Amino acid sequence: MTTRPNPHLDIDNYDADADLMALNMGPQHPSTHGVMRIKLFLDGEVIIKAVPYPGYLHRGVEKLCEKLTFVQIFPIVDKHDYVAPMTNEQAMAVAFERTLGIEVPRRARYLRTILAELTRISSHLLWLGTFTLDIGGTIGGGASMMMYTFRERELILDCFEMLTGSRFHYNTHCVGGNRHEIPDGWVAVVKSIVATMKLRVPEYEQLCTGNEIFNMRSQGVGVISRDLALELGLSGPNLRASGVDHDLRRDQPFHAYDEVDVQVAVAQGGDCFARYQVRIAEFYESIRIVESLIDNIPEGPLSSQRPVKSTLAVKVKTGCHYHGIETPRGELGTYIIGGGDNKSASPYRLKIVPPSLHAMSALPYALVGHTVSDVVAILGSLDPIMGEVDR
Amino acid sequence: MNELLSALAAAFPDFIDAETPDPSGPMVPASQHIAFATFLKERGFTRDVTVVGSHWPAADEDSVGEYEVGTVLRQPQPGSFPFMWRVRIAMTDTVPTLFPLFAGADLQEREQFDLVGVQFGDHPDLRRLMLPEDWEGHPLHKDYAIDTPHAPWR
């Protein structure tokens, strides 16, 4: 049994002389990254208990999936993590392919890896922009950084539009491969993005790491210890910022990651600054991975399956299956119980395991003892996306 | 994986079969749920991945139907793989909570209680997570149709 703070503090029996106040933060607070509410119990200005209330974006996707067939599920998973939609589809595709033992051609695996890394860059760009805006740590009170990161994110979304025809809801993955062939000139566009990012990331770092306000507001704030991070089930940059050297890209490779040498970025602090350090290091790592793959995309087919003519083409007959991949936020898993409606072409039960929900469950531990002004810094650094938490 | 299975078979000979493992994960009695999780946590499965409930309606009118609770843990190290096991209970019974072992089980189990209806015994704060507090029914029940009437807004 471990010793950890109690998130279910009994407020009624708390110190009777204390200056207690309950404060609802959200659901429409600009820094809640979607719509969520945190009920803060304050003693003076210090938080003694924090209770998250998600559910404002609940759309019942898991119930919908029980009626849709496996082929029909792909378009709706784009809407979960709306900051990095590409990796949602990939998590679904990898889960179905591993469950059914379907091979993916090498060309599609390379393309998926490049798309995943570009998505990681674009997701971390949005995170960096909003995080610095939340804590006001860069020149111009933080808003200038947001302009810079959105300028670069636009390049990546344009490049996805060139490949798939849409900027957000791509529907480009299917069971067995990818749908959209690489257009002429796309490789050159990706190379120019990578070259731009190589120049920009050191600029971001200079703006933030060298800034005294940024350092004071992020260092030592919201510390999550190594053991607690594991117990909470944190994954991705949040887990690595607490000193755990764990990344599914290296530890259980998917796509073409077994052909790349992934250097996992780890920081020891466990605070907001460590989470920032890990994400900045992941910028460089993603740039390196894209650079090493973009010139070597093999020729060949993009899909190992014939084009689907029936929605009943993919069937999981029996059993429970869990498969997860590393998305920009951490391990996005899919738990499938086969043998559902439509002659097993629908899942009996499909659970999407979102990394953001685990990040949310860290809030009652990370917020206690800090002041109200630190809430946005801690929430921002954990990077939960509410569309993914609520589903 | 094989080493782990033989260690599990030695510790829990009643329900672990190392010779022919079930690919869906072993079925564990609810009374052994905590002991099983503790055993795995001590062997490196320190990261809580998820808790998944599912509803299995009764085949006839005499029984009440069952809940199945799947739990997935993972080792945070190279070569890691997810390990999962399942607990089956009658709909009137409870599953012991994993909250004392894994802090992340708090919200995970609340979500499964909310959507599926599984009762987790000794959970410190078993409330609805996604749906409003006065919602009726559990949407992921197999007999809960998508068009089940309810107050649509508030």
CATH code: domain of residue A243: 1.10.645.10
A176 part of a folded domain:
yes
| Cα–Cα dist A41/A348, whole Å | 41
Residue A54 touches chain B, beta carbons under 8 Å: yes
Query: Which residues in A lie closer than 8 A to residue B52 (C-beta atoms)?
Result: 335, 349, 351
CB atoms within 10 A of CB A22: 11
- Domain residues for the domain of B56 are 2-121
Task: Give burial (CB, 10 Å; 0-12/13-18/19+) of A136.
Answer: middle
| Cα–Cα dist A175/A340, whole Å | 18
Same domain, A95 and A46: no
Distances (CA, A) of B43 to A157, A189, B118: 43, 47, 28
Same domain, A170 and A30: no
Overall domain count for chain A: 2
**CATH code (residue B21):** 3.30.460.80
**Residue of chain A nearest B27, judged by CA positions:** A320
- Confidence at residue B148, expressed as pLDDT on a 0 to 100 scale: 64
A193 part of a folded domain:
yes
CB atoms within 10 A of CB B32: 16
What backbone phi and psi angles, to 5 degrees, belong to A127? Answer: -60, -45
Is the CB of residue B71 less than 8 Å from the CB of residue B85?
yes
Is the CB of residue A230 less than 8 Å from the CB of residue B101?
no
- Domain residues for the domain of A374 are 61-382
Per-residue confidence at B152, pLDDT binned at 50, 70, 90? low
3 state SS of A228: helix
Overall domain count for chain B: 1
* CB-based contact A60 B77, cutoff 8 Å: no
Size of the A and B interface in Cβ pairs below 8 Å: 122
Among A319, A349, A360, whose Cβ lies nearest the Cβ of B23?
A319
Task: Label residue A291 left, alpha or beta by phi (over 0 means left) and psi (-120 to 50 means alpha).
Answer: alpha
Query: Which residues in A lie closer than 8 A to residue B103 (C-beta atoms)?
Result: 4, 7, 228, 231-232, 361, 365
B71, B83, B126, B130, best to mutate vs chain A, most A CBs in 10 Å = B130
* CB-based contact A319 B24, cutoff 8 Å: yes
A387 part of a folded domain:
no
| Cα–Cα dist A298/A111, whole Å | 9
What single-letter DSSP state applies at residue A9? -
What backbone phi and psi angles, to 5 degrees, belong to A209? Answer: -60, -35
Same domain, A169 and A23: no
Q: In this structure, what token pair is assigned to residue A225?
A: 């210890």
Residue B153 touches chain A, beta carbons under 8 Å: no
Instruction: Enumerate residues 50 to 109 of chain B having a beta carbon within 8 A of any beta carbon in chain A.
Output: 50, 52, 54, 70, 72, 74, 76-82, 84, 86, 100-104, 106-108
Residue A1 touches chain B, beta carbons under 8 Å: yes
B137 part of a folded domain:
no
Is the CB of residue A359 less than 8 Å from the CB of residue A379?
no
Among A1, A58, A351, whose Cβ lies nearest the Cβ of B130?
A58
Same domain, A235 and A134: yes
- Confidence at residue A191, expressed as pLDDT on a 0 to 100 scale: 92
B24 part of a folded domain:
yes
Q: Which residues contact B153 (CB under 8 A, 6 or more apart)?
A: none
B32-45 average pLDDT score? 88
**pLDDT above 60 (res B153):** no
| Cα–Cα dist B85/B24, whole Å | 7
**Residue of chain B nearest A334, judged by CA positions:** B50
Question: Which of A7, A37, A9 has the alpha carbon at shortest distance from A23?
Answer: A37
Same domain, A47 and A91: no
* CB-based contact A351 B100, cutoff 8 Å: no
* DSSP percent split of chain A into helix, strand, coil, nearest 5: 50, 10, 40
| Cα–Cα dist A334/A195, whole Å | 35
B145 part of a folded domain:
no
* CB-based contact B129 A321, cutoff 8 Å: no
* CB-based contact A357 B125, cutoff 8 Å: no
B55 part of a folded domain:
yes
What backbone phi and psi angles, to 5 degrees, belong to A28? Answer: -110, 35
Helix axes A106-135, A272-294, angle to 10 degrees: 150
> What's CA A153's distance to the chain center, in Å?
16
**Residue of chain A nearest B49, judged by CA positions:** A233
Closest CA–CA distance from residue B108 to any residue of chain A (Å): 8
Question: Which of A32, A56, A83, A28 has the alpha carbon at shortest distance from A380?
Answer: A32
B7-36 average pLDDT score? 81
Among B49, B70, B80, whose Cβ lies nearest the Cβ of A233?
B49
| Cα–Cα dist A95/B112, whole Å | 21
Same domain, A165 and A40: no
* CB-based contact B52 A60, cutoff 8 Å: no
A345 part of a folded domain:
yes
DSSP string, A94-143: HHHHHHHT----HHHHHHHHHHHHHHHHHHHHHHHHHHHHHHT-SGGGGH
Tell me the residue ranges of DSSP E strands in B4-147: 27-28, 47-56, 66-74, 82-90, 95-96, 120-121
Same domain, A119 and A27: no
Same domain, A16 and A108: no
Among A235, A239, A320, whose Cβ lies nearest the Cβ of B86?
A320
Among B76, B104, B106, whose Cβ lies nearest the Cβ of A244?
B76
Among B102, B124, B140, whose Cβ lies nearest the Cβ of A231?
B102
Torsion of Cα atoms, A24 then A30 then A32 then A34, to 10°: 120
B8-25 average pLDDT score? 76
Q: What is the pLDDT along chain A (391 residues), one digit of tens a residue?
A: 456 777 777 777 777 777 788 888 878 776 667 788 888 988 888 888 889 888 888 888 888 888 888 888 888 888 888 888 889 999 999 998 988 888 899 999 999 999 999 999 999 998 888 888 888 756 656 677 888 888 889 999 999 999 998 888 888 888 888 888 899 989 999 999 999 999 999 988 888 887 888 888 888 888 888 888 888 889 889 999 998 889 888 888 888 898 888 888 898 888 889 999 999 999 999 999 999 999 888 888 888 887 777 778 788 888 888 999 999 988 999 999 988 887 888 889 899 999 999 988 888 898 888 898 888 888 888 888 888 888 8
B23 part of a folded domain:
yes
Same domain, A131 and A45: no
